[in-house]
Amino acid sequence: MLEVLRIPVLSDNYVWLMHDAASGETVAVDPAVADPVLEAAAARGWRIDQIWNTHWHGDHTGGNAAIKAATDCIITGPTAEAERIGTLDRTVGEGDSVRIGDHVAQVMAVPAHTAGHIAYHFSDERIAFVGDTLFAMGCGRLFEGTAAQMFANLQRLAALPEDTRIYCAHEYTLSNGRFALTVEPDNAALAARVAAVEAVRARGEATVPTSIGEERATNIFMRARDAEELAERRAAKDAA
């Protein structure tokens, strides 16, 4: 079994620390900063062996260099963004695989938020690290790609088993859910989820990871009928 630890950093980022007890290996996914990640690992007696980046943005790669200096870990990230992530030791893209112990994740190309964005999917463990592509009740802004790309990404992710756990990189759930209700006010599952999220956030607790099943039922971007509808919803959310 893989143990996944959530580390809140900055204003709303999450770094994910993944540990395989059998091999003793530990991977940091999208470390925005270094110190909280190193401290969390040290508190558990873990040594960070690898970093996996999903895309080039600084709030996903900012801790790379310092963690590398402290641990001599191997840093993996998207081939298409290698020039923008100067700390990479290995680059990967669609169809490649990465490994922690005996656990193998397939690399998925999911461009749209950035041009070379990737995700890491463990099919056997039903886990996916999706960076800023899919959020709980949301999706990433279309900074470098198109609505058609994001639509294809979300349909591809929606096809995964419904109990697949989705580890995204931000705590955007409440604002996403409140906006979603303006689009699908009669969605009972959505209304119930937003109410639950409001209670969770009022207690200061995290709302992720999410699951594919939850997103199929309540994510208005995943539920969009086509790329044009997704684009309209994304533009409205950006302007909200």
SS (H, E, C) the chain: CEEEEEEEECCCEEEEEEEECCCCEEEEECCCCCHHHHHHHHHCCCCCCEEECCCCCHHHHCCHHHHHHHHCCEEEEEHHHHHHCCCCCEEECCCCEEEECCEEEEEEECCCCCCCCEEEEECCCCEEEEECCEECCEECCCCCCCHHHHHHHHHHHHCCCCCCEEEECECCHHHHHHHHHHHCCCCHHHHHHHHHHHHHHHCCCCCCCEEHHHHHHHCCCCCCCCHHHHHHHHHHHHHC
Known catalytic membership, residue 60:
yes
The model's pLDDT over 128-138, given as tens digits with 9 standing for 90+, comes to 999 999 999 99
Known catalytic membership, residue 103:
no
Catalytic residue (one of 103, 113, 117, 121) = 113
Catalytic residue (one of 55, 103, 117, 121) = 55
Average pLDDT rounded to a whole number, residues 149-155:
98
Catalytic residue (one of 20, 30, 49, 59) = 59
Candidates 233, 229, 180, 169; CA nearest to 6 is 169
pLDDT at 171: 97
pLDDT band at 2; cut points 50, 70, 90: very high
Known catalytic membership, residue 113:
yes
Residue 42, pLDDT > 90, answer yes
Candidates 130, 201, 215, 212; CA nearest to 172 is 201
Token pair in block for residue 65:
């260099």
Average pLDDT rounded to a whole number, residues 207-217:
98
pLDDT at 85: 98
Known catalytic membership, residue 59:
yes
Residue 84, pLDDT > 90, answer yes
Catalytic residue (one of 19, 103, 117, 170) = 170
Known catalytic membership, residue 121:
no
Residue 1, pLDDT > 90, answer no
